[in-house]
Amino acid sequence: MKIIEAGVLDIAYIEKGPADGVPVLLLHGFPYDVHAFDVVAERLAAKGMRCIIPYLRGYGPTRFRSAETPRSGEQAALGADLLALMDALAIPAAVLGGYDWGGRAASIVAALWPQRVRGLVSCGTGYNIQDIARATVPAEPEEEMRFWYQYYFHTERGRAGLTERRRELCRFIWKLWSPRWAFDEETFQASAAAFDNPDFVEIVIHSYRHRYGGIAGDPALAAIETCLAAQPAIDVPAVVLQGDADGVDPPRREDRDAPHFTARYERRILPGIGHNLPQEAPEAFSEAIASLV
């Protein structure tokens, strides 16, 4: 593991593969960590790619450099962190791959700074940029039911639950979102250690409250949020991977993401795969990344 000063963070990250290989940044989601890419990184490194897998803000050894920085989990923060990491590592352009929060960070950089992105692999919701202005528009009841955890985190009871029972809660989410993934306790605990970060709870709570317009964001990120409010197109080559057993974000028959992509675009639906796609289907995820190099 390495640590580098990047923007407002000291970002901890894993690096695998040759230093002169095509850079690939792999970004985990909630509630997961860098172990989601263990097999993916090994496969890509063996093909000569330089894989960088950071702990997102609020996870693992990644830390804020100042106590004064707001512990924001908003989408602009995730995108800004990724761009700052690329700058700190002097990476002019990379292939980005992620899911959940990590897919959002990758999508934001691809949309707002396309010159920095050689290609994008996004899982679940392919166009993973929140439309906060429409966040109060109700979805179908079945979809609303799947978002129970988001509404839970809007309450102080939810904050207490995440604080006091974070392992039990996150393990339950893993099972609910990936019902066919037979992970063992050792696999879960390897990632669960990342949830002990002192800012984990605050960032998670802020993330789910901000996306519904229920709490203010970091003023330093307001310009990025303004750009994202316009729902910018993604003009880089992209592959969207979706598991048909995803318990929180199952694929729709109609591809509603496609109109947001203006370059080469492909959607692939994987049978029997849930939400944690790179860890459940590392071969498919690795192949998608390699197809963009």
Give me the phi and psi of 86, to 5 degrees please.
-60, -40
- pLDDT for res 283: 98
Closest to 30 measured CA to CA, from 2, 60, 71: 60
Q: What is the pLDDT of residues 111-162, one digit of tens each?
A: 999 999 999 999 999 999 999 999 999 999 999 999 999 999 999 999 999 9
Does 3.40.50.1820 match the CATH number of domain 2-290? yes
- pLDDT for res 79: 98
What is the DSSP secondary structure assignment for residue 228, as one 8-state letter? H
Average pLDDT of span 21-42: 98
Q: Give residue 194's pLDDT band: very low, low, confident or very high (50, 70, 90).
A: very high
- pLDDT for res 266: 98
Average pLDDT of span 208-224: 97
Instruction: Find out whether 16 and 51 touch, Cβ atoms under 8 Å.
Output: yes
Q: Give residue 169's pLDDT band: very low, low, confident or very high (50, 70, 90).
A: very high
Average pLDDT, the chain: 98
- pLDDT for res 171: 98
Alpha helix (H) residue ranges in 215-258: 222-229
Work out the angle between the directed axes of helices 166-177 and 156-164 (0-180°, nearest 10): 100
- pLDDT for res 27: 98
Instruction: Find out whether 112 and 227 touch, Cβ atoms under 8 Å.
Output: yes
Q: Give the tokens for residue 30.
A: 């909630």
Instruction: Find out whether 38 and 61 touch, Cβ atoms under 8 Å.
Output: no
Q: Give residue 245's pLDDT band: very low, low, confident or very high (50, 70, 90).
A: very high
Q: How many CB atoms lie within 10 A of CB 6?
A: 22
Is pTM beyond 0.85 here?
yes
